[in-house]
A and B are shown apart, each in its own frame.
Chain A
Amino acid sequence: MNFMASKQPENSLLGPEADSQRTLYPYVTGTSVVALKYKDGILMAADMGGSYGSTLRYKNVERMKAIGKHSLLGASGEISDFQEILRYLDDLILYDNMWDDGNSLGPKEVHNYLTRVMYNRRNKFNPLWNSLVLGGIKNGQKYLGTVSMIGVNFEDDHVATGFGNHLARPILRQEWHENLSFEDGVKLLEKCMRVLLYRDRSAINKLQIAKITEEGMTISQPYSLKTYWEFSAFENPTQGAVGSW
């Protein structure tokens, strides 16, 4: 007697097999993103590294992307999850454009959308393993916000993810002020990125700085920062050391 017992379809999310679908830990990750408001809009910086644990696996990862006409998204954390978020945002912007009503989603709206997405994934215990920075300007209103992988979000005059919170935010709190010029903003961001380069193990010396203004988004060509290693203690590290190590 072989009547059809109720069976889960193969792609079911119920039962123990579903657990293997949930994110447990990130694999390929990007490190800090740092961003600040300046006179004409938002400046954002991120390096181009994609680490696979302690291996520097990818050295040409663009971790900042334009979203629609008015926003700029930077991400740290799992790169594949960032790519999935970009796909969600593609759909969002597409449907917004298809209304063809002269309206377009601003940074505040995109930030709210991302917050809801991240929070809902956290509720299902299957988070997108990213810390996102969303900046933009629309109708003269500058906006800069951030969302974490569990949905914690806020906006501020300057934000950072990961190590940037520890190393860059204190510098920004000291030296940021309203109406920074573009040159001063870039100098300030470079100061933060240099400290991160020295002190964050996963940072690499290949970064991009993105700017978004009413005119649109531009992202610099990748470049590296000047560093200084000629400290005398580094030049001959074993001099004066006792023993063989």
Chain B
Amino acid sequence: MTKQQANWSPYDNSGGSCVAIAGADYCVIAADTRMSTGYNILTREYSKICKLADKCVMASSGFQADVKALQKQLAARHLIYQHQHNKQMSCPAMAQLLSNTLYYKRFFPYYSFNVLGGLDNEGKGCVFTYDAVGSYEKVGYSSQGSGSTLITPFLDNQLKSPSPLLLPAQDAVTPLGEAEAIDLIKTVFASASERDIYTGDKIEIVVVNADGIRREYMELRKD
């Protein structure tokens, strides 16, 4: 009697793309709002962006149920941190927590591709990029998700990141102003929607700066 094989998968790809760009005194985090399964669109108005702390915002694409569970975990841990330390977690601290949380499920991973963005303790923009099991890196900009292969080369061209091998270490944060960075985001998503079927409908853009956090939206192609 042959062993029965599983005919259902615990994972599914809900699709979508995320981008984050760090500036001298701001950070822009953006993601599209489409949620898909296979060739179907489930909904056109789903937010992939989650505010984890006062100056720390995460955008995640991948398997939506895992993303939701991960966001809940981090929110709960942040609450405990606030009770214990009487302050908000800084972005670099949250970055480490996210990495550890992901690796904790190394052998049944959160199928979640994350970019974390915000301001560090000096008020400078920072972006951290992750894979599904927690390996992470501080970068000047990043994109994850179904459109990342289309978006990253364009960002590389426009934001020209210095090599991480340089000594002394050079700052990857872009000299671009906030408005220009937002414009770049809009351009990048408009292009990705043309060729990636999972990206489209609307972009949600979150800007973190000294004044706080604000939100913007832009319509995208619905096909």
Hey, which bits of chain A sit against chain B, CB under 8 A? 24-25, 115, 119, 122-123, 125, 127, 148-156, 165-166, 169
Within the assembled complex, what's the spacing in Å between the Cα atoms of A150 and B8?
9
**B12 contacts A150, CB within 8 Å?**
yes
Q: Which of B4, B7, B14 contacts A152 (CB 8 A)?
A: B14
**A165 contacts B42, CB within 8 Å?**
yes
**A152 contacts B37, CB within 8 Å?**
yes
Tell me the minimal C-beta distance from A127 to chain B in angstroms: 7
Tell me the minimal C-beta distance from B22 to chain A in angstroms: 30
Interface residues of B in 1-29 (CB under 8 A from A): 4, 6-12, 14
**B68 contacts A115, CB within 8 Å?**
yes
Tell me the minimal C-beta distance from A237 to chain B in angstroms: 32
If A115-B68, A154-B46 touch, does A25 touch B14 (CB 8 Å cutoff)? no
**A119 contacts B8, CB within 8 Å?**
no
Residues in chain A near residue B41, CB distance under 8 A: 169
Q: Which of B7, B12, B35, B69 contacts A25 (CB 8 A)?
A: B7
Within the assembled complex, what's the spacing in Å between the Cα atoms of A59 and B65?
33
**B65 contacts A154, CB within 8 Å?**
no
Total interface residues on B, CB under 8 Å, equals 23
Q: Which of B6, B40, B64 contacts A153 (CB 8 A)?
A: B64
Within the assembled complex, what's the spacing in Å between the Cα atoms of A155 and B63?
16
If A24-B4, A150-B12, A154-B43 touch, does A119 touch B69 (CB 8 Å cutoff)? yes
**Given contact pairs A150-B8, A154-B42, A169-B40, a sample of 10 additional A-B residue pairs in the complex whose CB atoms are under 8 Å apart:** A119-B68, A125-B10, A148-B12, A150-B9, A151-B68, A152-B14, A152-B42, A153-B68, A154-B46, A169-B41
Residues in chain A near residue B137, CB distance under 8 A: none
Within the assembled complex, what's the spacing in Å between the Cα atoms of A42 and B85?
45
The chain A residue sitting closest to B3, CB to CB, is A19
Tell me the minimal C-beta distance from A151 to chain B in angstroms: 3
Within the assembled complex, what's the spacing in Å between the Cα atoms of A24 and B7?
7
Is B219 close to A, CB under 8 A? no
Within the assembled complex, what's the spacing in Å between the Cα atoms of A149 and B9?
10
Tell me the minimal C-beta distance from B104 to chain A in angstroms: 13
Tell me the minimal C-beta distance from A213 to chain B in angstroms: 24
Residues in chain A near residue B11, CB distance under 8 A: 150
**B65 contacts A152, CB within 8 Å?**
yes
Within the assembled complex, what's the spacing in Å between the Cα atoms of A125 and B64?
17
Interface residues of B in 42-83 (CB under 8 A from A): 42-43, 45-46, 63-65, 68-69
Residues in chain B near residue A153, CB distance under 8 A: 64-65, 68
**B64 contacts A152, CB within 8 Å?**
yes
Residues in chain A near residue B35, CB distance under 8 A: 152, 154
**A151 contacts B65, CB within 8 Å?**
yes
Residues in chain B near residue A165, CB distance under 8 A: 40, 42
**B40 contacts A156, CB within 8 Å?**
no
**A119 contacts B46, CB within 8 Å?**
no
Within the assembled complex, what's the spacing in Å between the Cα atoms of A132 and B11?
18
Per-position contact with A for B128-171: 1 when CB-CB < 8 Å, else 0? 00000000000000000000000000000000000000000000
Within the assembled complex, what's the spacing in Å between the Cα atoms of A148 and B9?
12
If A119-B65, A154-B46, A154-B64 touch, does A149 touch B40 (CB 8 Å cutoff)? no
A/B interface sample: 5 pairs, CB < 8 A: A149-B8, A152-B63, A153-B64, A154-B43, A154-B64
The chain B residue sitting closest to A165, CB to CB, is B40
**A156 contacts B65, CB within 8 Å?**
no
The chain B residue sitting closest to A124, CB to CB, is B10
Residues in chain B near residue A115, CB distance under 8 A: 65, 68
**A156 contacts B64, CB within 8 Å?**
no
Q: Can you list the 8 inter-chain pairs with the closest CB atoms, starting with the nearest? A: A151-B65, A156-B43, A154-B43, A152-B65, A152-B64, A119-B65, A165-B40, A154-B46
Tell me the minimal C-beta distance from A74 to chain B in angstroms: 16
**A127 contacts B8, CB within 8 Å?**
yes
Q: Which of B6, B42, B64, B69 contacts A24 (CB 8 A)?
A: B6
The chain B residue sitting closest to A119, CB to CB, is B65
Within the assembled complex, what's the spacing in Å between the Cα atoms of A212 and B6?
38
Residues in chain A near residue B68, CB distance under 8 A: 115, 119, 151, 153
Per-position contact with A for B178-209: 1 when CB-CB < 8 Å, else 0? 00000000000000000000000000000000
